[in-house]
Structure 1
Amino acid sequence: MLAKFDIAGHVIGLIIDRDLTDEMVDRVILEIQEKLEIYKSLNVYVELEKDRQITLKALFKGIKYKYSNSDHFGKIAIVSDSKWFQGAVNVSDILLDVEVRTFDLKDRLEAIQWISI
């Protein structure tokens, strides 16, 4: 399931409670696109719940979407206990002109504070 919440007008929060597959990335992108119809630029909070994984295909699809639409993002917070996912996000964002930070699940409140500013 994909749960959506608004932190502020320009901030969308998404919590994923299952493995992040190619199909789930499509749902995430759809939610973001709907919000972009209202706001030109967004901050995005994505939380992958404990013990959930991401497929390689989903990771590449997400990276491709981020690069293709980077001018629409101010900040992106990725919250997950998956160290390989956090590492892949950090490496993929080296050349991206968007502030991207990864957080452990225990630090989700810090992530929400950071993304809200």
Structure 2
Amino acid sequence: MFLNFSFSNDAVGYIVDGVMDTPAIEYLRDELLKKFEEHKKISLYLEDSGIDRFNLNSVVTTTLFPHKHRNRFHRVAMVTDRKWIHLLARLNGIFLSAEVKNFTTENRLKAIAWIEERD
């Protein structure tokens, strides 16, 4: 399940819990594609709020989608206490033209402030 919210026109956030399966990842992908239609670049806040499980398709898609759209992100904040998700975000960050930062759930307010910053 996703709770989505906007910081501004070009910055969006999603808090994710439950199961991260194919329908969930397709929903997230479709939402981001809608934002890309409206804006050349977006900033993205993603928070793991107790995801119960992931399936392989969701992990593959969340790894490949940013690469396909690597020039469309301005900033990406990943908020989770799972180190392996931080590792995936760092690996994705290598290939993106965006700034990517990892935050623990304890530091979610810092992540929100960082996403809202304007250069």
> Helix, strand or coil: the match of 2:78?
strand
2: CA distance, partners of 1:112 / 1:34: 21
Structure 1 gap ranges (5+): none
Would you say the 8 A contact 2:76–2:101 is kept in 1?
Answer: yes
1:4 maps to amino acid: N
Structure 1 match to 2:14? 14
Distance 1:95 1:60, change over 3 A: same
Structure 1 match to 2:77? 77
Structure 1 residue 56, shift from structure 2 partner? 3.6
> What TM-score, normalized by structure 2, do the two folds share?
0.88
Structure 1 match to 2:5? 5
What is the percent sequence identity of the aligned residues? 25
2: CA distance, partners of 1:101 / 1:46: 11
Deviations 1:17-40 (A, max 9, x none): 213223211111111111122111
Structure 2 match to 1:40? 40
The ranges of structure 1 where at least 4 consecutive aligned residues each deviate by more than 6 angstroms after the TM superposition are none
1:55 maps to amino acid: N
Structure 2 gap ranges (5+): none
> What TM-score, normalized by structure 1, do the two folds share?
0.89
Task: Compute the RMSD of aligned alpha carbons.
Answer: 1.5
> Helix, strand or coil: the match of 1:102?
strand
Distance 1:67 1:39, change over 3 A: same
> Helix, strand or coil: the match of 2:112?
helix
Structure 1 match to 2:24? 24
2: CA distance, partners of 1:94 / 1:54: 23
Structure 1 match to 2:94? 94
2:45 maps to amino acid: Y
1: CA distance, partners of 2:52 / 2:77: 17
